A and B are shown apart, each in its own frame.
Chain A
Amino acid sequence: MTNSMSNLVKILESFNPFVEEIDEKEIKITVSPDKVVAVLETLKANGYSHLSLMTCVDWIDDNQLELVYILFSWEDGGKFLVSTRIDRSNPKFVTVKELWPVARFYEREIHEFFGVEFEGNDDMKPLFLELWDERPPLRKDFDPRDYSRKKFPDREYEKDVIKEAKIFRGEING
């Protein structure tokens, strides 16, 4: 952990974070959902102003969705993974589009793929999919293979491959 990062972690201690060090320049901070925005604001004010990625992980066994905000500082090259867990059966969270305008699209994407509602972000039209008629596809209980079988038929070959192979090998004459 670099000096500036450990200082920041100290500042963040008031939010009761669970801190994990992934490597020297990458720290994961897990906080409760109500403190996420405050943590993000603090980090943004302290140089971690670049939102590299905002994403979601479906922990189906815990019935939780984990939201991860990855912040990067162009000054000292450190990364903070701010993470929180929300209820999977009724996923709701607040938007951070005021902090990072591009988060609007990340939220739109997460809404589409995980079904999370973001309060304050009303632009929730599907971004990538058209006329989607199933549960959000990146949830763990969605099986794409089944869906694909149902909607997009596979080709069924009729050729006798064994006979062809035997002809190639000279075992039988074709």
Chain B
Amino acid sequence: MGEVKLFFGPNHPGMHGNFSVHMYVEGDVVKRARPLPGFLHRGFEKLMERRYWYSNIALIPRICVPEPDINEACYAMGVEKIAKLEVPERAQWIRMIVLELARIANHLMAVGGIGGPIGLYTAPQWGTADRDRILDIFEALSGARVYHMYIVIGGVRKNLTPRIEDMIWKTMDYIESRLPDYENLIFKNRILHSRLKGRLILTREQALEMGVTGVGLRATGVEYDVRKVDPYLFYDKVDFEVPTATDGDAFSRVYLKFKEIPQSIKIIRQALEKMPQGDKVNVPVSKGSALRRIVPKGMAYVHIESARGEYGFFVVSDGKNKPYRVAVRGASYPQGLYGIEKYLPGTRIEDVPIWLATMDVCAPEIDR
């Protein structure tokens, strides 16, 4: 059998989002592969230059749809770094809670989502339904389910009320109680073991050379997490662990995501306890209405640990009321482009969606 050219995506059920991999296969084995991003390219970096510092908060959550809050936090922290702005302590804690909630939501979807490419359809049903409880918190907190537009320059947009705090406590208990079900259904499943164990191995050297971050790197046995290495917000004031594994295969990557959920729950509980009370959760970056608030000249790079790895915003200001340039480092940029070209040849067609799912290739953040 000769080589057959296949367009894997963009409208392919195994594809995560709107992305495409063009490849030559022989039988079921991939011979050559090239990523084809750009189906979600909207020109964010250009559009952000055309909007005010403050009105950009409507735009940035859209860069990464499954976990929008990291964009808001990154952007806000970048601007605050340039402006040397002191954010109210309570707002910082709220931000941390929001970021960890978003991480849980994303991981629930990713852990359930692994059922998609391998055919365990019960898992995504559960995962997405449980994630919806977190979206309910977001809705109560920020007024929207997906695009929260909640973390703004100088703090957060509205205060965390006791009612919402209560809701978070309850939801955390609920999600914790659901975790054994996932463990039984997914991670003890023999067939899942046989599908994922030892597949798509990435060694530590390969991962570091490629620039992979997040669970892809931690599955190779190093504890590289931006929250620990370069702590932001109050991550140095809470107690949590970064789970790691040594296999570097698809299974351990998914399992690490699963194991991060209890850690995030732990962080949220600590944050709710340690958070100071107060009404002020927002300070303006400079005097004036949002149309004319200016950020002093300067540039800064801020990165945070998203559910998929190091996510960064590079912000340049020329001292006006609009950003001069904003560049985004999508967490899945290396594995989504270089990784596909380099590491997919030699694997099988079935492994392509597994790569996309376990390495969390997120099309919108690559395309922007």
Contact = CB atoms under 8 A, between A and B. Distances in A.
Contacts of B58: none
B342 A101 contact: yes
A49 B41 CA distance: 29
A101 B338 contact: yes
Interface string B186-214: 00000000000000000000001111010
Interface stretch (A8-16, A74-82, A154-162, A164-172): A74-82
Interface residues of B, number: 39
Interface in B316-342: 316, 324-325, 327, 329, 333-334, 337-338, 342
A102 B41 contact: no
B327 A55 contact: yes
Contacts of B143: none
Interface string A119-132: 00000001111100
Contacts, number: 98
Nearest to A61: B318
B334 A127 contact: no
B310 interface: yes
Q: What 3 pairs across the A-B complex have the smallest Cβ distances? A: A128-B38, A77-B230, A55-B327
Interface of B: 37-38, 41, 43, 45-47, 49-50, 81, 208-211, 213, 222, 224, 229-231, 298-301, 303, 310, 312, 314, 316, 324-325, 327, 329, 333-334, 337-338, 342, 367
Given A72-B310, A75-B229, A79-B301, 16 more contacts: A22-B300, A28-B299, A53-B329, A57-B324, A74-B224, A77-B230, A79-B303, A100-B209, A102-B211, A102-B333, A105-B337, A105-B338, A128-B37, A128-B41, A130-B38, A144-B43
Interface of A: 22-23, 25-26, 28, 49-53, 55-58, 68, 70, 72, 74-75, 77-79, 81, 100-102, 104-105, 113, 126-130, 137-138, 140, 142, 144-145
